[in-house]
Amino acid sequence: MPAELAQDVQARRFAAQLLSGEPVRSVTGVVRRLLAVQGQDPRGFRLAIRPRSAGLTAADVDRALTDERSLLITWLNRGTLHLVCAEDYWWLHALTTPPLVTASTRRLAQEGVPPGDADRAVAVIEASLAADGPLTRAQLGERITAAGVRGAGQALVHILLLASHRGHIVRGPVTGADHAYVLARDWLGAPPAVPDRDIALAELARRYLAGHGPAADRDLAKWAGLPLRDARRGLTAIGAELSQRDDGLASLTSVPAGGPGGPGGHGDRGLPPHRLLGSFDPLLHGWVSREPVLGGHQGVVTTNGIFRPFALVRGRGVATWSLARGRVTLAPFAPLAAADEAALLADAADVLRFLGERGTGGAR
C-alpha cells in the first residue's frame, strides 16, 4: 500500500477508535463506539476509556458497571472476556458464543469435570446467585466444591465459562477489589427476542466498522472470532452503507452516534497526541496485523497472549510502561526525543488522575 494511503487508513482508524478528534464524555459512549473492549485485565479495560474520553475516571467505569448497570463483562468474541454495553449483550452473546461451546465442554473434560458434573455445577451457580447474588468467583467456587464438583486448577474458570455460554451469568457489580457475578436475567431483565442471524451479522459489521474502519473482512472475522464467510455476509448486507475505497478496505459512509467520525482533529496528519495506552488496549485487537502500530516491536508488547501497556507517539508504539507505587516508568524501544518523553510523562500524570492514585509522576 502506498505510504500516503497507509497514513490515511491509520488516521481514520485512530479517529474510529476515538484516539483522535473530539473525546467522548461518557463511559458508555466509548464502549458503544468500540462495541467490545477486551476485559480480562481489570486495570486495562478501565484504562481503555481514559484516552478516548475527557473528564472521566476509573470510578465512572465502576459506577457504570455497578450502579447504572449500563456495562458488563462476559465471555464473547474469541472466547475472551469483553466489556460491552448492556444493550448489546444479548445479541452479541447469541452471535458469538455458539462456536465456543464444544471447545468449552472438551476443556472441562480435560479438567476432570464430566458433563453431568458440569451441569450440576451450573445449576449450583444459578441457585446461589438467585438466592444470594451478587457473588464473587471465590464464593461460587466454594459452593461448587461443597456440591462435590471439582473446582481446582482451571476447572472453576471453565465452569463459569459454560454458565456464561449458556446465557446464565455475567460479571456485573464491582465489590471492593472483586468483580462479582450475577444472573443475566436478574441484572439486565428478561432477554429480548434474538434477532435473525443475518440481521445480527449486519449489525456486527456496521458497529465494527464504526469503531475500527477502514478494515477488511478478515479483520472483522478475526476480531469477532467468527468464520470469514460470516464476516463477508455481514459486510455484504450493509453494502449500501459503505463507501468505495481504492485500497479495497470497507468503511462506513457515515458513523453511527457514539463519538466523532472522520480523521482526527489534533496531532500530525490526524494522528493521536502522545498517549500511554493500557494493557490489552483495543488498538491492538481490531485488525489482523499490528505492524502499523508496533512495527518490529510486537514481541516486546505482546508475549504468550499477554499485552503490555505501551506508549504511542505519532501513531507508533515507542515504549512499554509500568506503574508501581504511584510512579509510571517508561521502557523505550529506542532513545526518545526530549519533547516526546516530556509529553508522555505529562500523560502519565493523567493516568494517575484517572486511576485515583496519589503519585509522583513518571520516569524513564
* CA dist list (Å): 94 to 98, 132, 140: 7, 27, 25
For the chain (364 residues), the mean pLDDT of every run of 10, in chain order, is: 81 96 96 97 97 97 98 96 98 94 88 95 98 96 96 93 96 91 96 93 98 98 98 98 91 67 44 96 97 96 94 98 96 98 98 86 60
H helices present in the chain, as ranges:
3-16, 27-34, 42-47, 58-66, 86-96, 101-110, 115-132, 137-146, 155-165, 184-188, 197-212, 217-224, 228-237, 291-294, 298-301, 338-355
pLDDT the model gives residue 67: 97
CA-nearest of 53, 50, 153, 63 to 111 is 153
End-to-end CA distance of the chain: 35
Q: How far from the centroid of its chain's Cα atoms is residue 335's Cα? A: 31
The predicted pLDDT at position 246 comes to 84
Torsional sign, CA 73, 75, 81, 83:
negative
> What's the pLDDT at 223?
98
- CA dist 63 and 70 (Å) reads 9
- Identify the pLDDT of residue 149: 96
3-state secondary structure of 167: coil
Q: Answer whether 238's CB lies under 8 Å from 206's CB.
A: yes
Q: What is the pLDDT of residue 3?
A: 75
d(CA 308, CA 16): 22
Q: Is 359 helix (H, G, I), strand (E, B) or coil?
A: coil
How far apart CA 182 and CA 134 sit, in angstroms, is: 5
The DSSP code sequence of 109-130 is HHTT--HHHHHHHHHHHHHHHH
Looking at beta carbons, which pairs linking 242-247 to residues 24 or more positions away fall under 8 Å? 242/209, 245/214, 246/5, 247/1, 247/5, 247/9, 247/214
- Residue 191 is given by DSSP the state P
Distant-in-sequence, close-in-space partners of 359: CB < 8 Å, separation ≥ 6 = 326, 327, 328, 348, 349, 352
CB 201 within 8 A of CB 237: yes
Q: Which residues contact 313 (CB under 8 A, 6 or more apart)?
A: 274, 336, 340, 343, 344
Residue 238's alpha-carbon distances to 59, 207, 208, 230, in angstroms, are 37, 11, 12, 13
Dist CA 259 CA 163 (whole Å):
34
Residue 251's SS3 state is strand
Q: What is the DSSP letter of 215?
A: B
Count CB neighbours of 218 within 10 A: 14
Q: Where are the domains of the chain?
A: 98-166, 268-363
Burial class of residue 3 in the structure, from the number of CB atoms within 10 Å of its CB (0-12 exposed, 13-18 middle, 19+ buried): exposed
Reduced to 3 states (helix: H, G, I; strand: E, B; else coil), residue 102 is: helix
Tell me what pLDDT residue 104 has: 85
